[in-house]
Structure 1
Amino acid sequence: MESERVEDIARLPRKRMEAGALFVDELDRVLLVEPTYKDYWELPGGVVEANESPRAAAVREVGEELGLTVPMGRLLVVDWVPPGLYPTDGLMLVYDGGVLSVEQTAAITLQAEELRSWAWCNDAEASKRLPGLLARRVAAARRARSADALAYLEDGFAVA
C-alpha cells in the first residue's frame, strides 16, 4: 500500500514557481532590474528552489541580485502563467518589498553575472521596459499594494 502511494505522488503534475519583490522609492517609482541573460527588464526575484518557501525565495533572490537583506511584506500577486516560453505552466508570486530608503538604495550591489543594471521607473517607463505580461503583473502589484488587496491573475490578466 505504501509503494502505491509513493507512485501516485510521483505522477502528480509539477509547476514552475517564481517569487519576486515590488520595491518602490519615496517618489512611488518601482525598482526594475535588467538581467544579462534576457532581452527585457523585470522585478527582482527568481525561481523558488525545491523545499523553499516562495517568501524565502524572494528574500534570497533579492539578497543575491541586489545585495540587500530586507524582510518581505505581504503577498500582492499570484499569477498563473500557461505553457509558452517554458514547456510547463507556472505560478509567479509578487511580494511587497516596501519602500527602499535612500541608504538602502545606495547599498544596492548588483550580482554582475545575472544583472546588467537596475532603475527606478515610473509607470510609463516601466511599461516601456517590461514585456506585456510583466507590465500587467507589475501594474496589478502596484494596485494591490495601494488597495491593501491581493490580485489573482492568469497570464497577467485579472480574473473575476
Structure 2
Amino acid sequence: MTSPSGDYTATLPRKRMGSAVLFRDAGGRILLVEPVYKDDWELPGGVVESDESPYDAAVRELTEELGLSVSPGRLLVVDWVPPHPGRTEGVMFVYDGGVLDPALAAAIHLPAEELRGWAWSTPEEAQRRLCALLARRAAAALRAANTGDTSYLENGNRIV
C-alpha cells in the first residue's frame, strides 16, 4: 500500500520522540527543571517536532527552556517507552551537556509559562524529584556520562 504521494514510508507507524540533556556541576549534581503543568521534575528537554532531528530538538529546547545557546555532546541514552493509558509509545534521547560552567548556570532564564524553577540535584534528590521512569533514565544517563558508554533502555531499564 502506498500513500497518495506514492511514498510507502508515509503509511508506516510513527512514534512519539523526545530529547533531553544531562548537565552536571563540578560536584556531580544534575540539573533538573520544575514544570508548571505537573508535579514531577524533569531533565531539560522536550518533544521532537515534525521533521526535526532529536539532536536539533535538544538544542532548541535548551534555548527555549533555559535561555542557553549550547551544543550538547554525545548521546548517553536511548529509551523506548511502552504505551500506557493516556500516552503512546515513544523513543527518548538523552545527550551529554557536560559540566555546566557556573557563568552559564547563572545566565539560565526560564519561561514562566512553562517552568517554575530549576535546581542542581544529587542523585538521591533526583530520585525524589523525578517520576520513577525519569529517575531510572537520569540515573542511566549519569552512569553513561561517567563511564563513556551509551545505554539502550526500555521503560528506563538498561537492556544494553
User: TM-score range, shorter-chain basis?
Assistant: over 0.9
Paired residues for 1:101-116 under 5 Å: 101-116=101-116
Q: Which residue of 1 aligns with 2:89?
A: 89
**Matched residue SS, 1:97:** strand
Q: Aligned partners of 1:56 and 1:104: how far apart in 2?
A: 20
Alignment: residue pair count:
160
Q: Which residue of 1 aligns with 2:41?
A: 41
Q: Which residue of 1 aligns with 2:16?
A: 16
Deviations for 1:109-155, whole angstroms, at most 9, x for unmatched residues?
A: 00111100000000111101011100000000000011100010000
Deviations for 1:85-132, whole angstroms, at most 9, x for unmatched residues?
A: 544211000000111111001100001111000000001111010111
Equivalent residue letter for 1:39: D
Shift of 1:21: 0.2
Percent sequence identity over aligned pairs: 59
Q: Aligned partners of 2:42 and 2:49: how far apart in 1?
A: 19
Q: Aligned partners of 1:6 and 1:152: how far apart in 2?
A: 34
Q: Which residue of 1 aligns with 2:62?
A: 62
Q: TM-score, normalised by structure 2?
A: 0.94
Shift of 1:7: 6.2
Q: Which residue of 2 aligns with 1:119?
A: 119
**Matched residue SS, 1:6:** coil
- Of 135-144 and 9-18, the range deviating more from structure 2: 9-18
Q: Which residue of 2 aligns with 1:140?
A: 140
Is residue 53 of structure 1 aligned with residue 14 of structure 2? no
Q: Is the 8 A contact 2:19 2:93 kept in 1?
A: yes
Deviations for 1:34-64, whole angstroms, at most 9, x for unmatched residues?
A: 0011110000000000111111100100110
- Counterparts in 2 of 1:112 and 1:42: CA distance versus 1, 3 Å: same
Q: Aligned partners of 2:2 and 2:84: how far apart in 1?
A: 36
Equivalent residue letter for 2:117: S
Q: Which residue of 2 aligns with 1:27?
A: 27
**Matched residue SS, 1:69:** coil
Q: Aligned partners of 1:27 and 1:137: how far apart in 2?
A: 20
| Structure 1 outlier segments of 4+, above 6 Å | none
Q: Aligned partners of 1:85 and 1:24: how far apart in 2?
A: 33
**Matched residue SS, 1:73:** coil
**Matched residue SS, 2:21:** strand
Structure 1 unaligned regions, length at least 5? none
Structure 2 unaligned regions, length at least 5? none
